[in-house]
């Protein structure tokens, strides 16, 4: 194995591309987001490329955009994550399987069961993307008329995390002797009843599933707000960040890793993986032409709706050819809103220009040749801008194939990316330790 620092790569695969025009690109699969055969083929190609994980975002409501924009969106429907990832576990053997599950509208016992099951089914490849849901329409699907306040969502999320991980530790690793001779299937002394009672949850336990293969599935978070950063520093093992450029990436990296230092957590126990939109060409000009063609497929209805969602405010009444006006704060994602306002100010964009950018993909993008893309990724890795990337592809399947067939070999040639998997679990791919069982570790220490 190379002694150089190693790049970690996740694949953002729900939706299969974040670009609104992806399904319209020539040669693309228009139904890729909701076609199991296509998704199986993509997951297997990612595994061929030795990706750490297949990441599936999720929404608990149809996206809250005007119907004129929604009718042009590939994300109007998609598979429920656990159902899809359980199916993918049967047709892959190494790639990690990460699903989003909300702490705002789910119950801890449900989430603990689902991820423990997925981890056993996949042989230790599950990861939980912990999110606090900001879509106000989701509240209406769960018997609520309004949405929980931003900061309160994070307080609830911390208790949710503590409860779920406590449930995963219900059984010691050696709780199941399954001894036919004695007739002992499990040892009751190796069972812990959680009896959690807190401000938000009352959960007796124990979980009715054996401890996951990985101890706990890998904990993944996203978001850049102050509460989100602190929660990630305290609990996450990978964070899907949003950094528009290397300077912002390095500032975010230093901030979050510094929080780990203050908490006494080793820095390498949390991998920071910014989202990166990658367009590969045989020349820089070809790659830019692909991007321009793709952006040209975004309808303005979708563009202005994307801007409204990002701002948490209806932008349809703004002057399209004027600057972005002052936007009042809302209960939507603050980090997304601030990134959009900063982008408009930094590049002096009109509302129309800003909407068109957001309607396609406005985040960090590497557009170039395999060599230039590898150069940029290597610079981020070596200068502490990131530990790798959560890659989103411009269109499917060609955009993904280009990355695996052309960029991956270039990264491997430089010695900064694996040539083969060295372990079988997602924790092993990411170089993360297997958590000790907190209850039985403490019990054994007292007995000793």
Cα separation, 52 vs 44, in Å, equals 12
**CB atoms inside a 10 Å sphere around CB 296:** 11
* Strand intervals (E) in 158-200: 196-197
Cα separation, 376 vs 138, in Å, equals 38
The 3-state secondary structure of 222-250, one letter per residue = ECCCHHHHHHHHHHCCEEECCCCCHHHHH
List Cβ neighbours of 192 (8 Å cut-off, separation of 6 or more).
169, 170, 171, 172, 205, 206, 439, 440
Cα separation, 270 vs 235, in Å, equals 9
Cα separation, 363 vs 383, in Å, equals 20
Q: Check whether 313 is labelled as a binding-site residue.
A: no
Q: Which two tokens stand for residue 145?
A: 């008329």
CA 167 to chain centre: 23
Contact 36, 87 (CB under 8 A): yes
Q: Check whether 200 is labelled as a binding-site residue.
A: no
Q: Which residue has the tokens 């297949």?
A: 54
Cα separation, 15 vs 277, in Å, equals 13
DSSP codes, 154-190 = HHHHHHHHHHHHHHHTSB-TT----BTTTTB---GGG
DSSP codes, 102-120 = ETTTS-HHHHHHHHHHHHH
The separation between the first and the last C-alpha atoms of the chain, rounded to the nearest angstrom, is 39
Q: Which residue has the tokens 């129309």?
A: 352
Q: Check whether 417 is labelled as a binding-site residue.
A: no
Cα separation, 204 vs 231, in Å, equals 24
Cα separation, 366 vs 90, in Å, equals 33
Q: Which of 9, 5, 86, 3 is nearest to 45 (CA)?
A: 9
Q: Check whether 150 is labelled as a binding-site residue.
A: yes
Q: Check whether 100 is labelled as a binding-site residue.
A: yes
Residues within the annotated binding site for FMN? 58, 100, 150, 154, 225
Residues within the annotated binding site? 58, 100, 150, 154, 225
């Amino acid at each position: 194995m190379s002694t150089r620092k190693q790049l970690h790569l996740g694949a953002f695969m729900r939706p299969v591309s974040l670009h609104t025009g992806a399904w319209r690109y020539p040669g693309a699969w228009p139904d890729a987001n909701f076609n199991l055969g296509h998704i199986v083929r993509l997951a297997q190609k990612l595994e061929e490329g030795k990706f750490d994980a297949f990441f599936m975002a999720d929404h608990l409501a149809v996206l809250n955009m005007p119907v004129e924009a929604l009718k042009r969106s590939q994300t109007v429907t998609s598979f429920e994550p656990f159902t899809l990832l359980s199916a993918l576990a049967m047709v892959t053997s190494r790639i990690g399987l990460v699903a989003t599950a909300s702490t705002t509208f789910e119950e801890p016992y449900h989430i603990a069961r689902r991820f423990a099951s997925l981890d056993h089914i996949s042989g230790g490849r599950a990861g939980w993307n912990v999110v606090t849901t900001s879509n106000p329409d989701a509240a209406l699907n769960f018997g609520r008329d309004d949405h929980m306040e931003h900061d309160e969502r994070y307080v609830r999320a911390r208790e949710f995390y503590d409860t779920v991980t406590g449930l995963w530790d219900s059984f010691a690793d050696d709780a199941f002797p399954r001894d036919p001779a004695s007739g002992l299937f499990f040892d009751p002394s190796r069972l812990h009843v959680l009896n959690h009672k807190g401000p938000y949850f009352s959960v007796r336990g124990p979980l009715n599933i054996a401890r996951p293969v990985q101890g706990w599935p890998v904990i993944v978070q996203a978001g850049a707000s102050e509460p989100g950063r602190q929660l990630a520093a305290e609990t996450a093992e990978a964070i899907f960040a949003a950094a528009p450029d290397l300077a912002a990436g390095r500032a975010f990296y230093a901030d979050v890793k510094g929080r780990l230092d203050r908490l006494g957590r080793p820095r390498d126990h949390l991998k920071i993986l910014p989202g990166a939109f990658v367009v590969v060409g045989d020349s820089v000009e070809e790659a830019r032409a692909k991007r321009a063609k793709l952006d040209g497929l975004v309808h303005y209805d979708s563009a202005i709706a994307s801007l409204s969602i990002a701002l948490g405010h209806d932008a349809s009444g703004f002057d399209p050819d004027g600057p972005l006006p002052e936007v009042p704060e809302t209960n939507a994602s603050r980090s997304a809103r601030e990134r959009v306002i900063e982008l408009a100010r930094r590049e002096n964009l009109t509302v129309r220009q800003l909407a068109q950018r957001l309607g396609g993909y406005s985040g960090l993008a590497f557009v170039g040749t395999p060599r230039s893309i590898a150069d940029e990724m290597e610079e981020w890795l070596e200068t502490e801008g990131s530990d790798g990337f959560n890659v989103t592809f411009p269109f499917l399947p060609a955009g993904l194939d280009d990355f695996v067939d052309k960029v991956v070999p270039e990264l491997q040639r430089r010695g900064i990316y694996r040539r083969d998997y060295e372990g079988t679990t997602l924790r092993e791919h990411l170089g993360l330790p297997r958590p000790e069982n907190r209850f039985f570790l403490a019990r054994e220490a007292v007995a000793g």
